Structure 1
Amino acid sequence: MKRRYFGTDGIRGQANIFPMTPDLAMRVGIAVGTIFRRGAHRHRVVIGKDTRLSGYMLENALVAGFTAAGVDAFVLGPIPTPAVAMLTRSLRADIGVMISASHNPFEDNGIKLFGPDGYKLSDDIESQIEELLDQDLSMQLARSNEIGRAKRIDGVHDRYIEHAKRTLPRDVTLKGLRIAIDCANGAAYKVAPAALWELGADVVSIGTEPNGTNINLDCGSTSPAALSKKVHEVRADIGIALDGDADRVLIVDEKGTIIDGDQLMAVIADSWAAEGTLRGGGIVATVMSNLGLERYLQSRKLSLQRTKVGDRYVVEHMRENGFNIGGEQSGHIVLSDFGTTGDGLVAALQVLSSVKRLGKPVSEVCHKFTPVPQVLKNVRISAGKPLEDNAVRQAIADAEAALSKNGRLLIRPSGTEPLIRVMAEGDDRGQVERIVDELVSVIGSVRHAA
């Protein structure tokens, strides 16, 4: 059944346009507060946000909803998403909320929800919330003497900084490294540079002057050119690019080359395998990760387990099958030894640990494999189910046969837009491009015919 509010990562949309309105945010607070109001103890929610202008509006609306449901609200202010997940457990909260649209522009915002264990909510619980949102919530309101209280919590930045620092091995220090970091004018603009400096690095920061409208604007992991330029300018040993809520990271080496999440997962997997701390016999990634990563891991006698696109599916597979490294090509890397969701700073610290221990430049440490040529194109659809058409099915079968063992084909509907994504990768770039173009043409002709 198609869901009305929740997407692949919480509720998201343009601020002040349905569903991202203060009215719905308040209703989310009441609905979620109702579902997690279990037992006789004082219930509590922790609420963090990134630096978007609309965060003030949604924060107040959520506080109103939760307190109306009888839940005490602990307001954290601007702080990374992984910090919210960590503090949900640390403060023994019943629910955690992050107000963020991650890497999207400032006009968008979103509501991410975490259970008391710090993990994102299951599809079943999200369905329960959706069902409540469409009902009369007046019967769910707390009695007058049971209305929740709200207060801002001090010291949360220090808690997260200490948590992140403890993930760096004790025998490793960042002394002698010049690190350029781009915080995307987002949630980590205070904590990430502070943590790196306290660990001994010489830190040069950009993207640390949020004004409510410049989050992810020509900066951060979705626009790393600014960081690449800064690395050259200050002759940094490494650049770290976070996104708006700091759950993603990309690295820039000393030459200014951008390194994606696939390479970073390979670096961390190699390091942990050598230390004997890698669990599951490999890593978990999505269907979008490059074939080059899979081949590299196989050469190291490690496996790559693939899931649907979305970090929640990666985490579910990790938990069910005993893996402790997983992530996405975009740089959303989950290290379950340290946290329950993607953490850009913690992942970067693991890469820095390898750099220091190996004593080699980042360009050598982080180039584990040569990516296989990968081509992705989208076909916009307005109606019908073109992937069920016989001509499309035959074209897909022919393409898979042509790639055989030398490549990989992935065709999937977008989870957020009326698009069909066509991706192919293989050793022969020309062949890959032809296959994608032919499939786009066939799917497009069926779309127009419909």
Structure 2
Amino acid sequence: MYRMGILAALRSKQTKATVGVMITASHNPEEDNGVKLVEPMGEMLVPDWERYATWMANSSDEDLDSTVKKVTKEAEVDLSVPANVFIARDTRPSSVSLAQSLKDGVTAMESQLTDYGLLSTPQLHYMVRCYNTKQAYGQHTEQGYYKKLAHAFQSLHKLNDVGGGDYSNQILLDGANGVGALKVMQFLNHMESSILNITVCNDGSNGKLNEMCGADYVKVQQKPSSGMPSQVAVKCVSFDGDADRIVYFYTDTNQCFHLLDGDKIATLIAGYIQELLTQSGLELNLGLVQTAYANGSSTKYVSETLKVPVACVNTGVKHLHHKAQEFDIGVYFEANGHGTVLYSKNAEEKILQACEDPSLSKDQQKSATVLKHFVDLTNQTVGDALSDLLLVETILWAKRWTVDTWNASYTDLPNRQLKVKVADRTAVQTTDAERQCTRPAGLQDAINTLIANYQSARSFVRPSGTEDVVRVYAEAATREQADKLAYEVAGKVYDLTNGVGDRPVAPSS
């Protein structure tokens, strides 16, 4: 943390702008902790500086001074330039002491800092962008963040108030015993109480952060979080520990669990924006960005039914964010629920002009106005669970949809994820946005042969970025087929990569 404080100060000097540092380990267990660095426009750290961060982290104490000089020289940092760093932390017990080490690193570089205390990760990203845009994006305060979202959401609620339908404003929210629970409750103080009826569960008063709760738990375990009351057909939402991921879920009258993950959220948002563009007459380039983990049914639904272009990139939000910038309006989500919408300067200007364009009909102007508030409701810096929740609820209200109606837009193919321990993860290399394996020789051919045995099947493998494991993804027409394919592919990975431990074998049914 001390070293990352130094690095943040160097990045601030190099960009001649304010940067941010968030102390969090996101969806990881409470005993873990980590750090996320924030770029001047609220985006994640650029790849070159990820490399410098690795240098700093791996440097010995004796070599730290020379490592700092090496970074300063290679990045062409002018040390005479003043630096300013915003910092914040999540609710982990370790975050307080780690924040002090971070501050020590910043002050060691004779740099200014602002400590925001407890914030969600997306809130800090938002603050940094607001400050660097001289408030054009919003006020760089927590109250300013709430006010901007509340105003946009309530404006959209009134614009879409046409009556009728089965929409319910009742939500059970799983706060993962993290900072998101606190921030939702604070946000609700800025809202008219009749618009949203949110009951916050796992609010941190009992239970450990992310333990048997949170978005990652719901996504991976395919079941509701503990600490939530069992209610049939009630709309449920789960945040992760630092509130940059969100998934929806519910249990139907047959006690069947249904998950609406990042794919469902992305398709809902992309479809709604496309409707607004059509209704307003605006001609803007809309696209959806996914990773290989996106369910095949979602990709087919977007490209064939919604007719929205789909791009696939390597796993990691930074890759999705970068690709989404190539569109006038780029929607991106990982299946785990991390995502947002990006609007180009050209798109925002055209939307604002259309709101007041006398050559357009009243209905066209109204659709453009809805889109303008939808832009304001979006945290364009990074995935934001609260902002994304409000975007989804805006759309469900406008369409008068229940969560069941939303879920019925398309049916996910059953899928299974596994991981195989290997001696060296670099033995596996991929191409085509990680969908095709180029090494070891013969592995992709073996995967193709296995896929051919199943209906609507797809499978890929990719090495972990942090540990010596290879991740396996498989989907097929039935749960049984998806499970069987996943274990068969995992077995091939084990055989061809010097697998460690026991060879993967499907559990007996």
Cα shift at 1:92: 2.9
Cα contact 2:23–2:88 (8 A) shared by 1 = no
Amino acid at match of 2:276: E
- 1:18-417 to structure 2, matched below 5 A, reads 42-92=82-132, 156-168=141-153, 170-172=155-157, 177-196=169-188, 198-199=190-191, 200=193, 201-209=196-204, 214-224=208-218, 230=228, 232-233=230-231, 237-253=234-250, 255=252, 257-276=258-277, 280-297=285-302, 298-336=304-342, 337=375, 338=378, 339-383=380-424, 385=427, 388-399=439-450, 406-417=456-467
What's the secondary structure of 1:360's corresponding residue? coil
Counterpart code for 1:437: Y
Distance 1:300 1:321 in 2: 17
1:270 Cα deviation after fit: 1.5
- 2:407 maps to 1:422: no
What are the Cα deviations for residues 83-141 of structure 1, in whole angstroms up to 9, with x where unaligned?
Answer: 111101222399xxxxxxxxxxxxxxxxxxxxx999xxxxxxxxxxxxxxxxxxxxxxx
Partners of 1:424 and 1:176 in 2: CA distance? 35
Counterpart of 2:173, as a letter, is I
2: CA distance between counterparts of 1:341 and 1:376? 26
Count residues in correspondence: 379
Cα-to-partner distance string for 1:196-222 (whole Å, 9 max, x where unaligned): 4533322311122268x8211222213
TM-score by length of 1: 0.72
Percent identity at matched positions?
Answer: 21
CA distance in 1, matches of 2:419, 2:331: 30
Question: Secondary structure of 1:198's match?
Answer: coil
Q: Which whole-Å deviations, capped at 9, do the CAs of 1:346-394 have from their partners, x for residues lacking one?
A: 1111111122122232221243210112222222101372663434243
What runs of 5+ residues in structure 2 fail to find an aligned partner? 1-6, 8-21, 35-53, 162-166, 343-374, 430-438, 501-509
The SS at the match of 2:123 is helix
Aligned to 2:352: none
AA partner of residue 222 (structure 1): D
Distance 1:157 1:189, change over 3 A: farther
Structure 1 runs not aligned, ≥5 long: 1-5, 95-115, 119-153
Q: What do the CA deviations read for 1:285-342 (whole angstroms, capped 9, x no partner)?
A: 1110000101111212112211111111100111134442101111102222432110
Q: Secondary structure at the match of 1:294?
A: helix
TM superposition shift of 1:408: 2.4
Alpha carbons 1:46, 1:93 under 8 Å: kept: no
Aligned to 2:3: none
State how far apart, in whole Å, the 2-side matches of 1:319 and 1:443 are.
35
> Structure 1 residues 197 and 407 mapped into 2: Cα distance closer, same or farther (>3 Å)?
farther
Please give the alpha-carbon distance, in whole angstroms, between the structure 2 residues aligned to 1:449 and 1:329.
Answer: 27
The structure-2 alpha-carbon separation of the partners of 1:15 and 1:117, relative to structure 1 and needing over 3 Å to count, comes to farther
Distance in 2 (CA, whole Å) between partners of 1:90 and 1:64 is 25
2:471 is paired with a residue whose SS is strand
Q: Distance in 2 between matches of 1:11 and 1:329?
A: 21
Which secondary structure does the structure 2 equivalent of 1:63 belong to? helix
Say if 1:32 and 1:54 are closer, same or farther in 2 by CA, change over 3 A.
farther
The structural deviation recorded for 1:429 is 5.0
Cα 1:197–1:60 shift into 2, 3 Å: same
Q: Higher mean Cα deviation, 194-203 or 311-320?
A: 194-203
SS at match of 1:47: strand
User: Is contact 1:391-1:442 (8 Å) kept?
Assistant: no
* SS of equivalent residue, structure 2 residue 198: strand
Q: Is the 1:248–1:344 Cα contact (8 Å) retained in structure 2?
A: yes
Specify the code of the residue in structure 2 equivalent to 1:385. Answer: A
Contact 1:33 1:66 in 2 (8 A): no
Going from structure 1 to structure 2, the CA distance change for 1:365 and 1:390 (only over 3 Å counts) comes to closer
Instruction: Calculate the TM-score normalised by the size of structure 2.
Output: 0.64
Partner Cα distance (1:350, 1:382) in 2: 44
Question: Cα gap change, 1:413/1:449 in structure 2, threshold over 3 Å: closer, same or farther?
Answer: closer
Q: Aligned partners of 1:70 and 1:335: how far apart in 2?
A: 37
